[in-house]
């Protein structure tokens, strides 16, 4: 009697990824990540520039509204003297301030410093008069630059910033 043993072949299914497939997927993910990070950095830099421009524009609006309403600061010397107006000073490279101007001095209202990567193009002074309602400083442009980009603010003869 011949005993025939039947052979049963059991095959395990191969699940998983090959090394080449993993390398391709990781490479694509790396490229997408690098592009995303570069776009985020560029967006962040643009937002810093826009924020600085908006802050300066807001300072002009604050000075104009305080001058129009005749508001006096509560700090000396302006609290007890005649108000002449509000002055905005832009100093290179990054400082700008709002001061109340009185008959015998000034009183600082607000001083701001832009981020270190941003700078102004020049020193400028603008004044909004309280009694006469005038504006001195003339039509000019303020250029804020940094990160290889720039933002131009135009100040018209009435002190409006665009």
pLDDT digits (tens, 9 = 90+) for 17-47: 999 999 999 999 999 999 999 999 999 999 9
Domains, the chain, ordered by start: 26-155 (3.55.40)
Distance (Å, rounded) from C-alpha 15 to C-alpha 60? 67
pLDDT digits (tens, 9 = 90+) for 79-117: 888 899 999 999 989 999 999 999 888 999 999 999 999
Distance (Å, rounded) from C-alpha 142 to C-alpha 92? 11
Determine contact, residues 59/98, Cβ cutoff 8 Å.
Answer: yes
Sheet holding 149-155: strands in order across?
A: 119-120, 140-146, 149-155
């Amino acid at each position: 009697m011949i005993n025939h043993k039947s052979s049963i072949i059991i095959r395990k299914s191969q699940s998983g990824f090959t090394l080449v497939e993993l390398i391709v997927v990781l490479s694509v993910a790396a490229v997408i990540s690098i592009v995303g990070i570069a776009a985020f950095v560029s967006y962040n830099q643009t937002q810093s520039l826009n924020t600085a421009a908006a802050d300066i524009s807001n300072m002009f609006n604050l000075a104009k509204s305080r001058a129009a309403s005749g508001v006096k600061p509560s700090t000396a010397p302006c609290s007890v003297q005649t108000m002449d107006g509000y002055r905005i000073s832009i100093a290179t490279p990054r400082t700008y301030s709002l001061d109340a101007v009185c008959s015998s001095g000034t009183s600082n209202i607000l001083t701001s410093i832009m981020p270190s990567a941003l700078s102004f193009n020049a020193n400028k002074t603008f004044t909004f008069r309280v009694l006469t309602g005038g504006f001195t400083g003339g039509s000019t442009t303020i250029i804020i630059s940094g990160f290889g980009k720039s933002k131009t603010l135009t100040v018209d003869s009435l002190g409006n910033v665009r």
